[in-house]
Amino acid sequence: MENPKFIEEVEKVLELSKNIPKEDLIFTYNEVLYPSVTCDVDTFKTMETFEAREEDLMLIAYPKCGSNWTILLLLGMVQAAYKKEPPAGVPLIEFKSPNKFEKLRADPSPRVMGTHLHYDHIPQSFFDKKVKMLVVFRNPKDTAVSLFHFYNNNPMLPNYNSWDDFFQDFMAGKVVWGSYFDHAIAWNKHLDEDTIMLMTFEDMKEDLEGSVKKISEFLGISITDEQVKQIAEKGTFRSMKENSRKTHGEFGNIIFRKGDVGDWKNHFSEAQSQEMDAKFEECLAGTKLGQMLKYNVHCKL
C-alpha cells in the first residue's frame, strides 16, 4: 500500500523536528505527555465533538504495542472486502493534520481509525455509537524497550542518555501517552463488553493468519479464507519492515525496528526486571488482561 503523498508529509515532519529544541518536543495536556510535532491542544479540543459512526472500525493500542503493524493489517482487510483505497495518512485521531476532521466526515464508511489514547480520553461519541474497538497490548517489558528505541531513533522525541534513565520515566508514566499500566488497568475493566476485543502482540506473532481471521470476524469484515491467508502472508512483521520504506518512507525504519518477543532480556537489569514484576503483580495479576499477556511466559527468565 504505497502512498507517496503520505510519505512526503511524514518526511516533511521529520525534517521539521530536527530543528525544534529538545524541550519543545513534548507538551502536557490533561496531565499526560504528548509529542508536539504530531499533536496539539486544538486537535484535542476539536476531537471532543467528533461524531463517530456505528460502522467505524477503531484500533486502540498503547505506543509500541503493534499499532502500525495492526493498522496496516486492518487497511488490508478493508481494501480486500470493500475495494477501498487506504487513507492518505496515519489515521490516528489525535494526530494533527490540516482539515483532518473535515476529510474524515467526508470519508465513506467503514472508516478505519486508530489511537494511542487512554480509555478515558477517547471521544464519547465512539462509545455512544457502540463502535467496534480492537485493543492491542504487548507485554510491558518489550513495550518499554521498544519505546526506548523509538525515543532515541525518532527526531520527533527527545533522546535519553541511557536505558536506566528511560526505565525510571517509563515506570513513573512520564512518557508520551502516559503510563502503560494506567492504560492496561482502564481497558481491563471493559474487556467483557461486546464492542471490545483484545489481541496481544505476542499472539499475533505466533498465529497471524488465525489473528487476521479472528479480527475480521469481530469487526464484521467479510473476507474469504484465501484473502485471510494473503493478508497474513503480506502482513508479517518481517514483510512490513522490508516494505516500510515504501509505506512510510524514512519513518519506516523508526517504527518497524525488531518486532521480537523477548528483546527485554538484552536491556533489563535483574533489579529492573524485579521492579517490573512487582508492578505487574500490583496492577494486573489475576485480571483477564494479565492472563492474556502470559506474563510468566514472556517476561520471566
Among the listed residues 116, 118, 149, 183, the single catalytic one is 116
Query: Using CA atoms, how far apart are residues 281 and 191, in angstroms rounded to an integer?
Result: 19
Secondary structure (3-state) at 293: coil
The structural domain count of the chain equals 1
Contacts of the segment 94-103: beta carbons below 8 A, 24+ positions apart: 94/34, 94/39, 94/43, 94/44, 94/47, 95/38, 95/39, 95/43, 96/38, 96/39, 96/40, 96/42, 96/43, 97/9, 100/43, 101/46, 101/47, 101/50
Query: Known catalytic residue: 116?
Result: yes
Which tens digit of pLDDT belongs to each residue from 95-110?
987 688 988 999 899 9
Q: What is the mean pLDDT of residues 48-67?
A: 95
Percent of the chain residues topping a pLDDT of 70:
85
Q: Residue 68 pLDDT > 90, yes or no?
A: no
The Cα 60–Cα 138 span in angstroms is 12
For 93, half-sphere exposure in the C-beta direction (CA atoms, 13 angstrom radius) is 30
What digits encode the pLDDT tens for the residues 178-203? 999 999 999 999 999 999 999 999 99
Domain around 8: 4-298
Tell me, what CATH number does 283's domain have?
3.40.50.300
CA-to-CA separations, 268 to 199, 221, 236, 278, 301, in angstroms, rounded: 25, 40, 27, 14, 11
Q: Whole-prediction pTM value?
A: 0.89
CB 132 within 8 A of CB 74: no
Q: Quick one: how many helices (H) and strands (E) in the chain?
A: 17, 6
Closest-CA residue to 21 (of 36, 41, 40): 36
- Report which DSSP code applies to 50: -
Pair 293, 198: CB distance under 8 Å: no
- pLDDT tens, residue by residue, 219-248: 999 999 999 999 998 877 666 655 555 554
φ, ψ dihedrals at 65, nearest 5°? -100, 5
User: What pLDDT score does 69 carry?
Assistant: 87
pLDDT at 254 over 80: no
Rounded CA separation 211/200 (Å): 10
The x, y and z cell numbers of residue 229, run together, are 491467508
CA separation (Å) from 299 to 59, 280, 290? 25, 10, 12
| Whole-number average pLDDT of the chain | 89
Pairing assessment for the beta strands 26-29 and 32-35 based on DSSP bridges: antiparallel
How far apart, in whole angstroms, are the C-alpha atoms of residue 215 and residue 74? 8
